[in-house]
Copies of this chain bind each other. A is one copy, B any other.
């Protein structure tokens, strides 16, 4: 079912298509009230935003705008060519966060930062601290690596977030964005430069800016960028043209490839363009690319990107655990792509992947206090890393513990903007009713065609599998409440408990459990998902993890960390007795392992499989997102099977 939606710019959500299978709910409609994600939103608000502000100042990335305004650049400019974008992502996070719950200090931080950014904008709308001045590269002279359009994309997304959370605000950010967007259209539109940015991002941002300002020119410019991609308008680079998806046109590709963040941002933008232009052929292609990418190029965590060298997808089934790049930002971008397909097409598979990625990539990156981050999210740590110095910038991905800041620091503000806008991904509506995609304690209040509806979600998910939806307000007519049943949830049930009536329980299959009735206030619908720990086997074509299994429980992937092994044992020595029972132990999973004595040889390849003494032990596995919170350790998600 494709419905035509009448969108209003005041729905506070990052992606608001003018048409689609379902319509997203904004921050004003869904409020996460606690639990796993509520805690993380609180840490994000309380800890991460100030942390980011501190480092943006400390590293001079904000001061670059001051220098630009004062005409002092290029002297003194600090940071990489894309550092402006971190400021914009920070602004976007502030916009969602103040939209979620107003706060004077956050509002001041937002306005102050906008003022510094706006002061650096040039008369014709150009805005970038790295290009265009005497002593700098000329504007648009380095499209393959310069990130000018990429940075503007993040600027536009910040402006969209602000306009959707504070419509008509006098801070001026939307005007800054539209002036820059108008310049982009003039420079890169018909008759202008026929090329694209080496890092896709502006495509999805232009569409959203077009949606929020009702300006079709921006959407047309996004369409041009999408159609040009893969036609060879960028020069060759050492990583090959697939790195920035210039190897083949978007509609001819079989799967996502190249740099994983670029690939997902591009796919998000292409989906946006397809939706706004009614290009169902393109949408079909993108959905197929997504399916192939999920089937062959995605980690069990939802992480994407197998290569450190180029932060890129590998070949099909090339998914090494120990060199998993699984960049945090690729997880964020993958959520955006899947979400746009869900809005356009519907389908629990998209929400399944979003959930998997949120719990196992996005939640893994930040430390408990939200002031240190993983840039890449390995699935196998072979050597205990030294603790990161909380006062030192580290390179992008080589640290084995979370680090406070990176020389390429895209991930912290990307996590921040995602957590601040997370309520957007919880539920949608369509003509028939409301769909609950993600499970968190929340209140939902929106208007269906049948009338206003309000409900409360209560749950201790993912620790517990019971999700209770209480109807607080409902129209008199029938409507459908759809609850996602994750693909792993074999044996799930839905119980309908009418206010004052007799509950009835029904078995439900993975997909969406649809409850259609004329609800009354006080009615409850209870989804029960089986959360017993389970053993998961990989496709045999994933060479890197042949002969291993992983442990999962609900949406969480588990990990074996050396600090949970007896007396100095290392995860390299551990195998799992895969048919022994697993214990469900207050958020941990107890497993039976064997620990093997290292049996060193001068040459590790021989005529016989190498055996060695082994002892049997019981050990706890922890949720992967909790790893490396207890000092240097080794860790593995995929554990070799004993025997």
Contact = CB atoms under 8 A, between A and B. Distances in A.
Interface of A: 238-240, 291, 294-296, 300, 307-309, 314-318, 320-323, 349, 380, 382-383, 395-396, 398, 407, 487, 534-548, 550, 572, 596, 598, 600-610, 640
A544 B547 contact: no
B318 A537 contact: no
Nearest to A612: B540
A288 to B, nearest CB: 12
A interface majority secondary structure:
loop
B600 A295 contact: yes
Nearest to A540: B610
Given A315-B382, A316-B382, A380-B543, A606 B536 contact: yes
Nearest to A356: B603
Nearest to A550: B605
A545 B487 CA distance: 30
A321 B543 CA distance: 9
6 contacts: A295-B600, A308-B308, A323-B323, A537-B608, A539-B601, A550-B605
B605 A538 contact: yes
Contacts of A547: 546-547
Contacts of A295: 600-604
A605 to B, nearest CB: 5
Nearest to A407: B238
A478 to B, nearest CB: 32
Contacts of A380: 543
B239 A604 contact: no
A321 B295 CA distance: 22
A220 to B, nearest CB: 35
Nearest to A399: B240
Contact of A300 (B300, B315, B407, B605): B605
A488 to B, nearest CB: 8
A291 B546 contact: no
B395 A537 contact: no
B609 A540 contact: yes
A260 to B, nearest CB: 15
B382 A318 contact: yes
Q: Which one of A395, A407, A547 has the greatest number of beta carbons of chain B within 10 Å?
A: A547
